[in-house]
Structure 1
Amino acid sequence: MNRIIGFSAIFCLGVLTAPAIAPKVSLVEERTNIRSDRRPIPVGYYDDKADKTFVCWMSAHSHPAVKAFDHASGKWGDTKIVAESPFADKHNYPAILRGKDNHIYMFYGCHNSTLKMAVSPEPNSIEGKWTDTYIPQAERASYPAPVLTDDGVFYVFYRDTRKNNGYADDRPYQFVKSTDNGKTWTRQMLIDPYPRVTDSMMEVYNGQVSYQPGDGKHAGRIHIAWTICGEKAGKHAHATYGRNVYYAYLDLSDDHVYNVEGRDLGTTIDNLEADKYCLALETPIPERGHQAGLQVSVHFRDNGAPLIHYNYPSEHGGRLATWTGKEWHHTSFGAVGEPRGIEKLGPETFRIYSTMGKGVTTFVTSDGGLTVKRETEIETPKSLSRCYVVSDARPELKLLLFTTPVIDGKESLHEGSRDMYVVNDIYE
């Protein structure tokens, strides 16, 4: 019999500077989610046409689940398992977006395997039997991060476990693209560090990617920041060490990648180009661990300059990196734990989320990352593993939270063991 020492749930929440109201942390469902490495990706959104908020997560056996909150009644509907993951794995987490046809598009189910897509049969609803298909162009995929542009084009970014010459640490970054609501896809290699003779770190790791619509001055962009991992020079192993922070953006007018100064790097950034043109922070080859964490996230200022959040273990906390127009400026602050998302509040104002123990800590910068201050601490009944911002959130449902479970001393991938909570926006 499983003995739950600390289990995980889903919560929802909402949080700006000194809070206007006390945060309300509400339990949505107990023992529903399993252990997950889900990045800061689109996990839910408010649908103004249905007046509902849809959220998703990874249920037992890694099957993708969705749930709807009806804002008119103030009640949650039933949980719906919409598809079947091909195998149980903590990396098979889903993300959802509302397509231009108003159907819900889910991307999920891959860890070094073919990406899957599930689509709701009805617009603005989770009801009915969802279609469930593979995207064969995205093979050997991990960590899917989908984006939908204003003109209805899907970009799904992912890491490719290619393993050239058998190297475990050869894992470049690429995307698949669809202009017809997922009927057909094309693939493009985006970042390819292979080979790196200096340090054998050829794995691309990142967190949040951010879409910036075109504004008349420039075409739409997708901002990407990353670190590289692997072994040390002459040795090859998966995710043993990590170093450096890099940045580039994808220009959606030509699908070329550009560095922060606007240099055209073509369709793919190679190893030499990354080190010469894309370095936001260079760290030495580490004696141990990862010098910038594994979830390097990025957002954008109104002037198009990036704002990057990464961990900096030597300072035992987080850092923001911002581009001044001439150089990278790095600001240290006391965010302990992995980045859990960057929320844009204004032209130069952003909120940064961090989970540690029984709660969420938020930090705010109002000058594009030059200075950062601790904002609010939101207490939760149990220790948290993940915190996500709901897109276009209504005040009553701002954050989606998952607790940290331990069952008989270990976490299970086959049984729902994490609770889910939500939090209102305390700055409404």
Structure 2
Amino acid sequence: MSRLSSLLALLMLIPVAPAHARAEGFTVQTPATSVAARSDRRPVAGGVHDPVARKTFISWSGRYEDNHVQSYDHRTGTWSAPVKVGEGGSDAHNYPTMVQAPDGHLLVFRGMHNVELVMSRSPRPRSIEGAWTERVISRDAATYPMPFVAPDGAVYVFFRETSGDLDPSVPTDTRPMRYVVSHDSGKTWRTSRELTGHPFVIGSTSRADNMNEIYIGQLRPERDGRVRIVYTLAGGGPEGHRHDRYHRNVYYTWFDPRNRHFYSAAGHDLGTQVDDADQEQHLKVAETPLTVPGGVKSPDYIQLVGVTAGRPFVLWFTGDPDGGPLHNFLSRWTGTRWETREVARGLRTREMEPLHGGTTWRVYATTQDGAPGVRTFLVRDGRWTADAVIPTPKPVQRIELITGFRDPARVLMSGASSARDVAIADGDIYVAGLKR
């Protein structure tokens, strides 16, 4: 098949919104132009809305992955200039994630890849102005920080530990999940090891297939305090120990900050640690082959999780064995088991949000070919339909729903850089929302 024929086939498989729905209701702002570098950020904690200050705060990675923040004043409809709050060390893993502590201060976290978990704190509550302070809150070979604030005000940061960097005798593909907790708005911290007695909270150390790396695709806090988590495994496979050679399977769990226990979709209480036996018996959503289809890690690093009518569902995608379009799947918990079906092809699902009290979800996706713009889709009762197309002048790389958003600042969309080299930062920063 020729390159043109492959592209045409790909485009035919992407559900296209009706012409009248394109960009309907959405407005797009560009707070910063030609500043975004390549980033590995997951769809977690990209920004927050402060109803007291009537401002929205966002965070993003610039050149060399340096961490920046900006604020939007809803009274004036204007954006501040970017403020640099931390060095990124030229590593795409060191992206900023942001929460607002109960005392009003903004906290930005980055995982200095496989080394430290670093926190930057705003000098004043409800503001990004002034000189931010910085401190290391964990030296446990931390990567991929995923923060949230529990209903009781506790600030959690989940992160992945690269165990071999702490103990050289541990294989490189042993990388479980841990967390740290603060009950005083980030002033002091305790580790999951101190709180639970376990060396990790999700993971394994001795799988026969060496798939002992956890890749959380998304962590989604809910108003009732539950934290929904979807993840996949990675590792060296049967050939031996190697970091991230293969991906395999999709798993779902939820975390209760009140007792720090994990639960399955069926309600099994797994206690304060999820091990391999737990995930295989209670948490597996879908089984996928231990292969690299079409040269693509599969399932992808990003998976999405939500709940409707009290039952969880996840969206995820895989590569094609022949190098063709990506395959997009929707898995739903029926009350007794997981049901999975393919809903689209050629899309990279990036983020989603609940609508109408959670009976419907809007999915934000980019196309496999990296074209500009964001396609949106609706999921209701397991049905997948095309919705609006949000136009952007340049391609989008990452999308995060802004915590507690207020339109027109609903989602943060980081533009794709033209190169993998983090010294090149020419992507735009977009914020989209509904017109007010």
Task: Please indicate, yes or no, whether the TM-score normalized by the shorter chain is above 0.5.
Answer: yes
Following TM superposition, by how much is the alpha carbon of 1:403 offset from its aligned partner in structure 2, in angstroms?
2.3
Match of 1:115 in 2: 117
RMSD: 2.1
Following TM superposition, by how much is the alpha carbon of 1:401 offset from its aligned partner in structure 2, in angstroms?
2.1
State how far apart, in whole Å, the 2-side matches of 1:334 and 1:48 are: 37
- Residue 294, structure 1, aligned to residue 304, structure 2: no
Cα shift readout 1:177-204 (whole Å, capped 9, x = no counterpart): 111212222222211221101x111111
Match of 1:229 in 2: 234
**Which of 272, 289, 295 is the equivalent residue of 1:284?**
289
Match of 1:170 in 2: 174
Match of 2:272 in 1: 267
Q: One-letter code of the match for 2:54?
A: D
Cα shift readout 1:248-280 (whole Å, capped 9, x = no counterpart): 111223212121112122211111221111111
**Which of 99, 102, 105 is the equivalent residue of 1:103?**
105
- Residue 81, structure 1, aligned to residue 84, structure 2: yes
**Which of 20, 23, 26 is the equivalent residue of 2:26?**
23
Q: Is the 8 A contact 2:23 2:389 kept in 1?
A: no
Superposition pairs for residues 286-365 of structure 1, below 5 Å?
Answer: 286=291, 288=293, 289-303=296-310, 305-314=311-320, 316-334=326-344, 336-345=346-355, 346-356=357-367, 357-365=371-379
- SS across alignment from 1:276: helix
Cα shift readout 1:27-80 (whole Å, capped 9, x = no counterpart): 322222211111101111222111111111112232211111112222111211
- Residue 412, structure 1, aligned to residue 421, structure 2: yes
State how far apart, in whole Å, the 1-side matches of 2:35 and 2:150 are: 31
Gap runs ≥5 in structure 2: 1-19, 193-199
Q: One-letter code of the match for 1:241?
A: Y
Following TM superposition, by how much is the alpha carbon of 1:237 offset from its aligned partner in structure 2, in angstroms?
1.2
State how far apart, in whole Å, the 2-side matches of 1:262 and 1:84 are: 42
- Residue 148, structure 1, aligned to residue 155, structure 2: no
**Greater CA drift, 284-293 or 271-280:** 284-293
TM-score (norm 1): 0.87
Q: Is the 8 A contact 2:37 2:416 kept in 1?
A: no
Q: Alpha carbons of 1:261 and 1:43: their partners in 2 closer, same or farther (altered >3 Å)?
A: same
State how far apart, in whole Å, the 1-side matches of 2:31 and 2:278 are: 47
State how far apart, in whole Å, the 2-side matches of 1:338 and 1:207 are: 13
Cα shift readout 1:191-225 (whole Å, capped 9, x = no counterpart): 1221101x1111111222111243xxxxx321111
Q: One-letter code of the match for 1:54?
A: F
Q: Is the 8 A contact 2:110 2:145 kept in 1?
A: yes
- SS across alignment from 1:390: strand
Q: Is the 8 A contact 1:336 1:354 kept in 2?
A: no
Q: Is the 8 A contact 2:115 2:140 kept in 1?
A: yes
Give the length in aligned residue pairs.
397
User: Which of the pair is proportionally richer in helix?
Assistant: 2
Q: Is the 8 A contact 1:335 1:354 kept in 2?
A: no
Cα shift readout 1:131-171 (whole Å, capped 9, x = no counterpart): 111112x5211111101012101111111111363422111
Q: One-letter code of the match for 2:378?
A: V
Cα shift readout 1:97-124 (whole Å, capped 9, x = no counterpart): 1111111111114211211111111111
- SS across alignment from 1:135: strand
Q: One-letter code of the match for 1:358?
A: P
Q: One-letter code of the match for 1:177?
A: V
Match of 1:6 in 2: none
Following TM superposition, by how much is the alpha carbon of 1:350 offset from its aligned partner in structure 2, in angstroms?
1.0
Q: Is the 8 A contact 2:36 2:416 kept in 1?
A: no
- SS across alignment from 1:181: coil
Identity %, equivalent residues: 33
